[in-house]
């Protein structure tokens, strides 16, 4: 049972137990049974022959109209490829110039807040919103224009959401990737990963790393450690829900150097400063919790969480993540 203030969701395999729980709840509280789940906290639930699609169509439409982009042209990607955004402080101290600041800071902050909530069903804008949220204090006009581009991208397919397939096996699989020294201001790398239960996307993340990595292998390995940490937690959670994991969870990485560090028990000079991450990942591999495999960069699904991509690759990875548009989905 999921409770948010006075809204409740009840799910389970035994319909009799669900009815019994509702009877007990009704005997102690005044409740209203709204029947099968269709709408919850601005998230729409649509069932079709493939499974269940979670989307935020109504929420996205309200966001577009409030932004004044109801009649604007759509764009094919949420962020221009290779676009670098910097803070006003960086411009003044490093480049000795400053782009024009946005007069209404609150307007930008509200827009980013609304976009953050939209990432619950739109993982394909996760990286872009994560990047834009770094400039909440003193946003520039270029930041606001980039945020409005994300809104125009959302306009392209209002009913887009995540498909929870009814045909996939309940086994966990993960993809992790990093963009080395991606931040032009701090030279920190970006961690991106996603976890699937069968073919259904259940977890994703895009975040700037806490420390500076001195090589791409180190950045990838830190990303791998973060993903393994999430997998350990998810394996425990799914076990509580009755899903047993008899095989190690496969973790796909496209960096051969990071995979060699994970497989090689000998520490080299260049890996001493990431020794804790090395021990943690290897420990989970030896326990049989995870196993690492190489995947080509083109097939790396987590790539969408680390950088702005071109139109073709962005659309390709979005489909691989299991995203569907419920507006065009047969019921």
- What contacts 68, CB < 8 A, 6 or more positions away? none
Q: How far apart are CA 126 and CA 316, in angstroms?
A: 16
pLDDT score, position 209: 93
Cα–Cα distance measured from residue 271 to residue 278, given in angstroms and rounded to the nearest whole number: 8
CA 151/CA 217 separation, integer angstroms:
35
Q: What is the DSSP letter of 13?
A: S
What's the pLDDT tens digit per position in 42-66? 999 999 899 999 999 999 999 999 9
Average of pLDDT values for 85-106? 75
Tokens of 299: 């097939």
Region(s) of the chain under CATH 3.30.420.10? 168-320
The pair of three-digit structure tokens given for residue 227, joined into one six-digit string: 């993903």
What does R_g of the chain's alpha carbons equal in angstroms?
22
Residues 161-214 have pLDDT tens digits of 999 998 878 899 999 999 999 888 889 999 999 999 999 999 999 999 998 888
Which run of H or E residues covers position 259?
helix 256-263
In this predicted model, what pLDDT tens digit does every residue of 285-331 receive, in sequence order? 989 999 999 999 999 999 999 999 999 999 999 999 999 987 655 44
pLDDT in tens, 118-128: 999 999 999 99
Helical H runs in the chain? Answer: 15-28, 57-66, 88-93, 105-118, 126-132, 141-156, 216-240, 256-263, 275-286, 311-320
pLDDT in tens, 25-47: 999 988 899 989 999 999 999 99
Quick one: fold of 168-320? Nucleotidyltransferase; domain 5 (3.30.420)
Q: Could you write out the DSSP letters of every residue in 143-179?
A: HHHHHHHHHHHHHH-TTEEEEEESSS-S-EEEEEEEE
Euclidean distance between CA atoms 218 and 164, whole angstroms: 34
State the Cα–Cα distance between residues 54 and 272, nearest whole angstrom: 44
pLDDT at 169: 84
**Is the confidence at residue 89, as pLDDT, over 80?**
no
pTM, rounded to two decimals = 0.90
């Amino acid at each position: 049972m999921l409770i948010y203030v006075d809204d409740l969701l009840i799910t389970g395999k035994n319909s009799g137990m669900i009815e019994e729980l509702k009877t007990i709840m009704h005997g102690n509280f005044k409740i209203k049974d709204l029947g099968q789940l269709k709408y919850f906290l601005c998230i729409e639930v649509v069932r079709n022959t493939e499974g269940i699609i979670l989307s935020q169509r109504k929420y996205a439409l309200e966001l577009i109209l409030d932004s004044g982009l109801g009649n604007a042209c759509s764009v094919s990607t949420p962020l221009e490829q290779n676009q670098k955004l910097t803070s006003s402080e960086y411009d003044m101290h490093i480049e000795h110039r400053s782009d024009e600041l946005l007069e209404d800071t609150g307007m930008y902050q509200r827009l980013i807040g609304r976009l953050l909530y939209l990432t619950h069903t739109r993982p394909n804008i996760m990286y872009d919103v994560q990047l834009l949220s770094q400039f909440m204090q003193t946003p520039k006009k270029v930041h606001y224009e980039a945020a409005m581009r994300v809104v125009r991208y959302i306009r392209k397919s209002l009913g887009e959401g995540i498909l929870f397939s009814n045909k996939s096996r309940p086994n966990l699989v993960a993809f992790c990737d990093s963009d080395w020294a991606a931040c032009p201001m701090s030279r920190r790398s970006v961690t991106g990963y996603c976890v699937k239960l069968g073919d259904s996307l259940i977890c994703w993340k895009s975040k700037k790393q806490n420390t500076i990595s001195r090589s791409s292998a180190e950045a990838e390995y830190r990303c791998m450690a973060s993903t393994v940490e999430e997998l350990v937690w998810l394996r425990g959670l799914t076990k509580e829900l009755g899903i047993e994991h008899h095989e190690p969870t496969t973790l796909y990485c496209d960096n051969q150097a990071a995979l060699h560090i994970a497989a090689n028990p000998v520490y080299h000079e260049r890996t001493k400063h990431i020794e804790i991450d090395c021990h943690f990942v290897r420990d989970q591999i030896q326990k049989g919790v995870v196993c690492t495999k190489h995947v080509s960069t083109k097939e790396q699904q987590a790539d969408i969480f680390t950088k702005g991509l071109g139109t073709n690759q962005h659309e390709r990875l979005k489909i691989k993540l299991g995203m569907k548009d419920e507006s065009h989905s047969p019921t």
